[in-house]
Amino acid sequence: MADFGFTIIKPRVIDYDSNDRRIAEYIFEREPSFRLCIECGACSATCSAGNFTRFSLREFNILLKRGENSYVKNELKKCMLCGKCTLVCPRGVNTRNVISLAQEAFIKLNGHEV
């Protein structure tokens, strides 16, 4: 296509109703403590990956809940599953399991199982 020198900017709005929230629901069902997350950021503060890369588990958690799955899928790879986040979480969320379940859900989603 001819380059006319302009692009279409994708809207930044979280369109809650059209987003696919199956990954989040999959996790809620298997790890109900995920619902307790209040996005305080203790996990990201202690996160080894987050200290060296742009990975933020807090941001990951909230966008996962909102169904921003393309972002989530990309970020998922950055976690090394060390589990420090789970140790510091004041709400007792099993954050490490959230990541594992997210990985599982994406695999199943590709096989249309979720």
Say whether residue 90 binds other proteins (CB under 8 A): no
Question: Between 28 and 106, whose beta carbon lies closer to other proteins?
Answer: 28
Nearest distance, CB of residue 38 and other proteins, angstroms: 7
| 65 interacts with other proteins by CB under 8 A | yes
Name, in order, each residue with C-beta under 8 angstroms of 107's C-beta and a sequence gap of 6 or more.
Answer: none
By CB under 8 A, is residue 27 in contact with other proteins?
no
- Residues 23 and 103: beta-carbon distance below 8 Å: no
Of the candidate residues 30, 45, 62, 76, the single one contacting other proteins (CB under 8 A): 62
Q: Within a 10 A sphere around the Cβ of 53, how many other Cβ atoms? A: 11
